[in-house]
Structure 1
Amino acid sequence: MSAASSAARPLWRPFLVFLLPMMATNILQSLSMTINNIFLGRMLGFEALAAASVFFPVAFLFIAFLIGLSAGATVLVGQAQGAGAVDKIKAVAGTSITVALAGGILIAGMGWHFAAQILTLLGTPAEIFGQAVAYARMSFLVMPFTFLFLVAASLLRGTGDTVRPLMAQIFATILGAALTPALIQGWIGLPPLGAPAAALAAGLAFLAALVALGGYLSAKGHVMAPDRALLRAMRPDPALLALILRIGLPTGVQVVAGSLAGLVIVGLVNAYGVQATAAYGAVSQIISYVQFPALSISIAASVFGAQMIGRGRPDRLGEVLRTAMAMNLILTGGLVLIVYAGSRQIIGLFLTDPAIVDLSQELLHIVAWAALMFGAGTIFSGIMRASGTVLMPMVIGLFAILGVEIPVAVLLSGQIGLPGIWWGYVASFAAMMVLQGAYFGLVWRRKTIHALI
């Protein structure tokens, strides 16, 4: 059933039913990475954890490509779902899955071969170089499974289904948590694998979850079941792929830009010493969780908007916007209030030094409320993406990161010290909200909205 199929009931009800499982899925994905890091650090020592951490920026660059592919595919599946066009859903799914699989295999082969050279370019310390290369090669090897799992979850969301991706993520998280220590120590008849065990466990968990998900979808007759129609569509359609990438790649570009800007911010923070770096790490972790509702609401708004367009009801996009903004105010805002009320206790989960806790609390209080503006900006861009309008929202997003966040952080850090860096985030979120909202209201709403597929 379409996520936005009922015109009679209030939109907030199906929106919330769609949203909550997706938020839980996003939290579980982050939690599974945290669990793996805990096993590495406690069972093998900080060197193994450092070896895995070195690879994260590399993995994120490749995941950014997949985010772009998934974003475009989700919009087109949403429009096709709204129109009830099963053949188009299968066509988009077939092209997306094929490209994700081919891309994953290509990256796996190239990454395995050039892992040592990549880590050398990153300046990996000699004392962890061997472990880092082993971890990177295993991560590259299982990347096709990771790609397929993530794109399958995105395609299901496009049909309005967030429950089954959640079920699959729960299965993968539990299995990965069981496999990681077993593979690290060789408990299941295999030789101890060390740091690569975490990457292999995650890949095997994704593969098992994919198989289980496929079987479940087939048993239920789901539109995304791996049936003959989907298998026939498992070939890249050049025109369809071009449309998917046109919609999705700007999102991937913005993700990469944000990641690169983050490296600049880390450099600014590091100049203030190890206490500042520790505070940055703790506050960043907390803010990432505060932003989960906002990001999920943006995706939900994009899916609901795409389905409304597919149904020939672009007149209801205003209702989607109001519903999403209300959810942002209630869910993101509620989480922000919790963070302010319990900021010291929450920071205490990461840090124990009173001086660093005080510093972290000051920084958290500067930036936490701005998650509401971040959410509003991403909702505007999410709804515009549902119609295929992506170029100008991307330009605005890049300007907010490169033209506001970094310059303001550099300028204010020179004037007021470390807090100035965090005011750079606030300025960036404010600029994104205002500019995305202005473009949405003054330009995009005057356009004629029609289905792309």
Structure 2
Amino acid sequence: MRPPRPAAQPRSLTEGPVMKTLILFSVPTLGSNLLQSLNGSVNSIWVGRLLGEAALAATANANIVMFLVFAAVFGFGMAATVKMGQAFGAGQMDQARRTFGTAMGLCVILAALVAGIGWVMAPALLRLLATPGEAFPLALTYLRVIFIAIPGAMASVMLAMGLRGAGDAKTPFLFMGLSVVLDIAFNPLLIAGIGPFPRLGIAGSALATALAGYLSLLAQIVYVYARDLPLRLRGAELSYLIPRRVELGYILGKGLPMGAQMLLVSSAGIVVIGLVNREGLLAAAAYGASLQLWTYLQMPAMAISAAASAMAAQAIGAGLSDRIDQITRAGIIVNVLLTGAMTALLLTFDRSALVLFLGPDSPAVPLARHIQLLASWSFIIFGVTIVLFGTMRAGGVVIAPLIVLAIGLFPARLGFYYALRGSLGQDALWLSFPFGSLVAVLLAIAAYRRKGWREKARAILPERAAKESQADGETAGRFKPEL
């Protein structure tokens, strides 16, 4: 009889050179993000080419709403990832599984509720965005079908974040690749009704995304159990999927401010979309195409921030909090080099990229190129802010990043726009991006340099030990969040 496969162990991120570990861990995460962005871009190409500019503007409006929905529960996943990383760093496998189970159960329940409410509220949301009349019915159809995909998409995100907290960035990358291949393949088939598939128009694009998401989630779950990866739940551990008060205390306490950060970003995006829509369909289409390219510029910083957060969380759990500054420096250097290179590449070949979405003869192409020139480089600056937030998040700091984002995205960005709209015209809107990013990074640096949060990070292990000594017989470690 063949002996059972030994259970896979979480990968330690606390050993070896910091820069090398950060890069190796960031690459699969960056690959996952790039694949996801590529997926959205290819789908937008299909929509724009097969259905026209109004349909492309519709998907841009609908996608902003979807980002808002994801933000509402995404913070809980980030909070759980931090606590799981600390537990893995301390060698507490059961605690990590308890946290993962509670986070997964909570996110799926919330996602199901949001999907139902979103279906009903979709028209009101699009009216709030001042969606152009030509695009409104298309956006409504697209958005309502996409809402069906939310529970599966959130479960996939939570599973991927949990695996990364365990030091495994490869598995999420593999199954993101599967999802992208399926989505890209289904899109033209369902939009145009090729072969045995029905012709569904813009609803087909949304349905393709939903089908790809659920199929790849099922395949990933099978893979996790077949490989016996660290976060699999078996037997009595399946009860961890019922949210428990102890884990909920941390996930809600930290996750709400983290989710609020995402909500700030998405609400700022909604405000900008509303301002752009008031400039007319041409500006809406140009901005929608620009957003597709900007997703690529954001990806390096998001991947590096996630890697830095996972590394710092494991370092804190292992009692190596002095390693945090090394992780932060490495993250900033890699972000500036990589995001800077991607920005230069984008600005060099922007026309070739933009015509993929708008067509070579679209009057929106020159305006989209102008937007790129004025605003794209701001993502280099904003990436530094995101990396700083990543390491601070690992130490439980959630309020300072929230305040920084609130100031950078609203008083700074909108204040710049309204103050200079009369003299700069439409350009005030595009230049408000770099101005807001500059304000945010200066405030983030000031917050990071404060020493108080490092002392709290060093106290996490003693505090957890004290909680364990008072526990009610459970083996899982606990610690009270400091908000």
TM over 0.5: yes
Q: State the partner residue of 1:177.
A: 184
The alpha-carbon deviation at position 399 of structure 1 amounts to: 0.8
Moved more, 334-343 or 317-326: 334-343
> How has the CA–CA distance of structure 1 residues 386 and 37 changed in structure 2, closer, same or farther, with 3 Å as cutoff?
same
CA-to-aligned-CA distance 1:361-415 (integer Å, 9 cap, x gap)? 4543333333222111111111111111101221111111112111012223323
Q: State the partner residue of 1:294.
A: 301
CA-to-aligned-CA distance 1:25-65 (integer Å, 9 cap, x gap)? 11211222333334444455566556555533332221111
The alpha-carbon deviation at position 217 of structure 1 amounts to: 1.7
Q: State the partner residue of 1:370.
A: 378
Establish whether residue 394 from structure 1 lines up as the match of residue 374 from structure 2. Answer: no
Q: Distance in 1 between matches of 2:435 and 2:116?
A: 42
The correspondence for 2:411, drawn from 388, 395, 403, is 403
Establish whether residue 202 from structure 1 lines up as the match of residue 209 from structure 2. Answer: yes
Q: Distance in 2 between matches of 1:106 and 1:416?
A: 44
Q: State the partner residue of 1:433.
A: 441
TM-score by length of 2: 0.83
Q: State the partner residue of 1:254.
A: 261
Q: Tell me if structure 1 keeps the 8 A contact 2:14–2:315.
A: no
Q: State the partner residue of 1:25.
A: 32
Q: Tell me if structure 2 keeps the 8 A contact 1:261–1:406.
A: no
Q: Distance in 1 between matches of 2:178 and 2:395?
A: 34
> How has the CA–CA distance of structure 1 residues 29 and 226 changed in structure 2, closer, same or farther, with 3 Å as cutoff?
farther
Matches within 5 A, 1:144-155: 144-155=151-162
The correspondence for 1:333, drawn from 309, 329, 340, is 340
SS at match of 1:380: helix
The correspondence for 1:158, drawn from 165, 172, 179, is 165
Q: State the partner residue of 1:417.
A: 425
Q: Distance in 2 between matches of 1:32 and 1:175?
A: 10
The correspondence for 1:14, drawn from 21, 27, 36, is 21
Q: Distance in 1 between matches of 2:124 and 2:239?
A: 39
Letter of the 2:74 counterpart? I
The correspondence for 1:68, drawn from 62, 65, 75, is 75
> How has the CA–CA distance of structure 1 residues 186 and 229 changed in structure 2, closer, same or farther, with 3 Å as cutoff?
farther
The alpha-carbon deviation at position 226 of structure 1 amounts to: 4.2
Q: Tell me if structure 2 keeps the 8 A contact 1:384–1:444.
A: no
Q: Tell me if structure 2 keeps the 8 A contact 1:83–1:311.
A: yes
Q: State the partner residue of 2:392.
A: 384
The correspondence for 1:35, drawn from 21, 42, 55, is 42
Q: State the partner residue of 2:311.
A: 304
The alpha-carbon deviation at position 273 of structure 1 amounts to: 5.9
Matches within 5 A, 1:98-247: 98-113=105-120, 115=122, 133-184=140-191, 192-228=199-235, 230-247=237-254
Cα RMSD over matched residues? 3.1
TM-score by length of 1: 0.88
Q: State the partner residue of 1:95.
A: 102
The alpha-carbon deviation at position 204 of structure 1 amounts to: 2.2
SS at match of 2:241: coil
The alpha-carbon deviation at position 435 of structure 1 amounts to: 1.0
The alpha-carbon deviation at position 207 of structure 1 amounts to: 1.8
Letter of the 1:439 counterpart? A
Q: State the partner residue of 2:88.
A: 81
In structure 1, stretches of 5+ residues that fail to align are none
Q: Tell me if structure 2 keeps the 8 A contact 1:217–1:226.
A: no
Q: Distance in 2 between matches of 1:344 and 1:119?
A: 30
SS at match of 1:33: helix
In structure 2, stretches of 5+ residues that fail to align are 1-8, 465-477, 479-483
The alpha-carbon deviation at position 215 of structure 1 amounts to: 1.7
Q: Distance in 2 between matches of 1:307 and 1:14?
A: 13
The alpha-carbon deviation at position 171 of structure 1 amounts to: 0.7
Letter of the 1:293 counterpart? P
> How has the CA–CA distance of structure 1 residues 282 and 61 changed in structure 2, closer, same or farther, with 3 Å as cutoff?
closer
Q: Distance in 1 between matches of 2:144 and 2:296?
A: 29
> How has the CA–CA distance of structure 1 residues 431 and 229 changed in structure 2, closer, same or farther, with 3 Å as cutoff?
farther
How many correspondences in the alignment? 452
> How has the CA–CA distance of structure 1 residues 370 and 49 changed in structure 2, closer, same or farther, with 3 Å as cutoff?
closer
Q: Distance in 2 between matches of 1:279 and 1:193?
A: 25
Q: Tell me if structure 2 keeps the 8 A contact 1:268–1:410.
A: no
Letter of the 2:342 counterpart? L
Q: Tell me if structure 1 keeps the 8 A contact 2:41–2:292.
A: no
CA-to-aligned-CA distance 1:400-443 (integer Å, 9 cap, x gap)? 11121110122233233333333322121111111111111134
Q: Distance in 2 between matches of 1:206 and 1:192?
A: 20
Letter of the 2:307 counterpart? A
The alpha-carbon deviation at position 132 of structure 1 amounts to: 5.0
The alpha-carbon deviation at position 275 of structure 1 amounts to: 5.6
